[in-house]
Amino acid sequence: MNATHEVMNQSTPFVDVNLFDSDRALRDALAFNLPNYDAQAMWALGAEAGSAQAAEHARLANVHAPELRTHDRFGHRVDQVAFHPSYHALLGGALRHGLHGAPWSRPAGAHILRAAGFIVYTQAEPSVLCPVSMSYAVTPALRANAPLYDAWSTRIASTQYDGRFAPMPRKTAVTLGMGMTEKQGGSDVRANTTRAEPDGDDAWGRRVRITGHKWFMSAPMCDAFLVLAKSANGLSCYFLPRWRLDESINVLRIQRLKDKLGNKANASSEVEFDGSSAWLVGEEGRGVPQILAMGAITRLDCALGTAGLMRQALALAMHHCAQRSAFGRKLIAQPLMKNVLADLALESEAATALALRLARAVDHTENGNDASGHEALLRRVLTPIAKFWICKRGSAFAQEAMECLGGNGYVEEHGEGAMARVYREMPLNSIWEGAGNIMALDLLRALRTGPVGDALMHELTPARAHHAGFDRVAESLPARIDGATDEADARRLARDVALAVQAALLKQHAPAEVFDTFCASRFGDVGGGGAFGLLSARAPLDALIARASPHG
Ligand SMILES: Cc1cc2nc3c(=O)[nH]c(=O)nc-3n(C[C@H](O)[C@H](O)[C@H](O)COP(=O)(O)OP(=O)(O)OC[C@H]3O[C@@H](n4cnc5c(N)ncnc54)[C@H](O)[C@@H]3O)c2cc1C
């Protein structure tokens, strides 16, 4: 009892909830894509990510943002970033659970399990997953330089995080970053001006000296970066470590840290190279296709990350609405709030389904488990689809979930700031590694690269003849994916393919009411613009809410 009033009708902290166990949609999607998954590993990850300790680490890592130290007290350049211990604790957890480069040296299924883990761990704190995701993406590209890969791969796959600034041989594990974007162009990397001059050969292969800059280079405390630079033979990919082969410090001038909308716990920097040592990865002049291959992997992570953030926002909203009363009833019992929560639950489950299906396509193509080539085609087309649609829905989703909490949702300290952080994080997944238009254009390119359309239509088969609205959209697709789509119509096509694939997946691993309501609301004439809560009043709202509830 306060002196002036009794504090009541506020919800409790959403902590000490197993974020895997309490996510029925994720468990069903994972079981569909990887029937014999390691449930114990996922359970342990879910418990850790949902713990009160993880929530406190996330709060501290965001409140105490990284600090750039360009020089030491004597005036020497040091170019280091200091992070709060909580950031290191969270990043260490992500490595311990193998969310970084580890799946590349593990047996079939590892990428799917890692994808589910990524969805869960994002809910602890997405900022640390930036270097984790880049390490995951850079690892396979490094195979194009065998001596380098041999020298670094053990530490790339190591689960024993080592945050020290030290040469690779003296560390237990390393993390990797990527530097493509320059001031004059990000999506169009052909505009890059950073250059590479030959500098001989050594045990790591062909060495160059790189001079120029990157306008965005996140997680600059990583141990090495894959950077794009122009050699005499065109744009090429180079491996640029913080320490050279002889264990001297390489030149990497961190000019500034970006002052970002969100993603506060992670450092994103502007850097300059000045004769910096780097080693060629792959063929000279083939930098663009190599970067695109890496981009395809980080785009998967953008989709996974957004699916995770959606689930987090939904769980926070449901947790609050189950405890908070207004006008004589719990919010979760108010018919209109039920509609909003049920609609968010549909969107969240559909995002999880699509992102994990893409992860299965990655797993099968990487592990030689794709004799028919179907998974490779599907991977090519689902990457831009999932990145475009899931990320595009993310911001609207976060806003609606935040609104379920009323004014509390807009306040930093509610839920340890989690809802505000989710809201700020959402646009990032949509922008980086190819913003919406770039993804929609990539879809058009994908459709021109072989029988991708056939693979897509095959994927829709399980849901055919179950819902008239779904059938109508599915039947319209062959003509539109036949290369006839106008560039200006690419977003509409991307949306329609995404919805159709999501529906087909829900048909296979969600209860009938989820599939039926998803089709009725996404293919019917209910169209809601950016708003949620426009399901039919006759929709099975209670069943949808019960399935999505984080409390069973
Ligand atoms: C927090 C953060 C961290 C980042 N970290 C990294 C990093 O570690 N490494 C790195 O290399 N980069 C990083 N980036 C950069 C990011 O990948 C780029 O910002 C992104 O790829 C977009 O490039 P751009 O900013 O140059 O925008 P532009 O390429 O100028 O695009 C601007 C807009 O134009 C649209 N557009 C572009 N071309 C077309 C077209 N042909 N038709 C229609 N529309 C088009 C785009 O979709 C976009 O909406 C980071 C960005 C952020 C915000």
Report the distance separating Cα 10 and Cα 331, nearest Å: 12
Mutate to test the pocket of ligand 1, among 271, 391, 432 (most ligand atoms within 8 A of CB): 432
Q: Which residues contact 203 (CB under 8 A, 6 or more apart)?
A: 147, 151, 245
- Check: CB of residue 193 under 8 Å from CB of residue 230: yes
Sign of the torsion formed by the C-alpha atoms of 343, 349, 353 and 359: positive
| Cα atoms found within 13 Å of the Cα of residue 124, Cβ hemisphere only | 31
Angle subtended by helix axes 512-522 and 490-509, to nearest 10: 160
Report the distance separating Cα 31 and Cα 18, nearest Å: 17
Q: What is the pLDDT of residue 529?
A: 66
Nearest to 133 by CA among 219, 34, 249: 219
* Alpha helices, H only, 405-467: 418-431, 436-447, 452-460
Mutate to test the pocket of ligand 1, among 428, 438, 445, 491 (most ligand atoms within 8 A of CB): 438
Q: Find the residues whose C-beta lies inside 6 A of ligand 1.
A: 177-181, 185-188, 216-218, 260, 263, 268, 428, 431-438
Give nearest CA residue, ligand 1 atom 49.
Answer: 435
Looking at the chain, how many residues does it have? Answer: 552
- Check: CB of residue 332 under 8 Å from CB of residue 322: yes
Nearest to 274 by CA among 191, 197, 189, 188: 197
Report the distance separating Cα 172 and Cα 165, nearest Å: 12
Distance 311 CA to ligand 1 centre (A): 26
Distance 443 CA to ligand 1 centre (A): 17
- Check: CB of residue 18 under 8 Å from CB of residue 42: no
- Check: CB of residue 295 under 8 Å from CB of residue 433: yes
Distance 237 CA to ligand 1 centre (A): 19
Two tokens at 82? 């200091």
Report the distance separating Cα 308 and Cα 304, nearest Å: 6
Nearest to 497 by CA among 454, 456, 451, 462: 456
Distance 127 CA to ligand 1 centre (A): 18
- Check: CB of residue 219 under 8 Å from CB of residue 235: no
Nearest atom, ligand 1, residue 218 CA:
8
Two tokens at 533? 């809560």
Distance 440 CA to ligand 1 centre (A): 14
Helix (H) or strand (E) holding 74: none
Mutate to test the pocket of ligand 1, among 259, 266, 294, 431 (most ligand atoms within 8 A of CB): 431
Report the distance separating Cα 158 and Cα 94, nearest Å: 11
Angle subtended by helix axes 85-96 and 52-63, to nearest 10: 130
- State how far the alpha carbon of 312 is from the alpha carbons of 20, 260, 431, 447, in Å: 11, 21, 20, 33
To the nearest 10°, report the CA torsion of 167, 170, 174, 179.
Answer: 0
Q: What is the pLDDT of residue 528?
A: 59
Q: What is the pLDDT of residue 291?
A: 86
Nearest atom, ligand 1, residue 436 CA:
47
- Check: CB of residue 487 under 8 Å from CB of residue 517: no
Distance 139 CA to ligand 1 centre (A): 22
Give nearest CA residue, ligand 1 atom 29.
Answer: 187
**Strand, coil or helix: 198:** strand
Q: pTM of the prediction?
A: 0.98
List beta partners, residue 249: 243
| Cα atoms found within 13 Å of the Cα of residue 309, Cβ hemisphere only | 36
Distance 384 CA to ligand 1 centre (A): 15
- Check: CB of residue 111 under 8 Å from CB of residue 103: yes
* DSSP string of 201-252, one letter each residue: EETTEEEEEEEEEEEEEE-TTSSEEEEEEEETTEEEEEEEESB-TTSPBP--
Nearest atom, ligand 1, residue 177 CA:
8
Give nearest CA residue, ligand 1 atom 20.
Answer: 432
Distance 262 CA to ligand 1 centre (A): 16
Nearest atom, ligand 1, residue 134 CA:
8
Distance 34 CA to ligand 1 centre (A): 34
Q: Strand ranges (DSSP E) for 314-417?
A: 325-326, 329-330
Q: Which residues contact 277 (CB under 8 A, 6 or more apart)?
A: 199, 207, 208, 209, 210, 240, 241, 244, 245, 250, 251
Give nearest CA residue, ligand 1 atom 35.
Answer: 437
Q: Which residues contact 539 (CB under 8 A, 6 or more apart)?
A: 339, 342, 517, 520, 521
List beta partners, residue 237: 228
- Check: CB of residue 400 under 8 Å from CB of residue 533: yes
Distance 185 CA to ligand 1 centre (A): 8
Residue type, 352: T
pLDDT in tens, the chain (552 residues): 568 999 999 999 999 999 999 999 999 999 999 999 999 999 999 999 999 999 999 999 999 999 999 999 999 999 999 999 999 999 999 999 999 988 998 999 999 999 999 999 999 999 999 999 999 999 999 999 999 999 999 999 999 999 999 999 999 999 999 999 999 989 999 999 999 999 999 999 999 999 999 999 999 999 999 999 999 999 999 999 999 999 999 999 999 999 999 999 999 999 999 999 999 999 999 998 998 889 999 999 999 999 999 999 999 999 999 999 999 999 999 999 999 999 999 999 999 999 999 999 999 999 888 888 999 999 999 999 999 999 999 999 999 999 999 999 999 877 667 999 999 999 999 999 999 999 999 999 999 888 898 999 999 999 999 999 999 999 999 988 876 789 999 999 999 999 999 999 999 999 999 999 999 999 976 555 678 999 999 999 999 999 999 997
State phi, psi for 167 to the nearest 5 degrees: -60, 150
Report the distance separating Cα 90 and Cα 62, nearest Å: 12
Q: What is the pLDDT of residue 362?
A: 97
Q: What is the DSSP letter of 489?
A: G
Sign of the torsion formed by the C-alpha atoms of 298, 304, 308 and 309: positive
Distance 258 CA to ligand 1 centre (A): 15
Residue 479 CA, distance from chain mean position: 32
Give nearest CA residue, ligand 1 atom 27.
Answer: 186
Nearest atom, ligand 1, residue 434 CA:
21
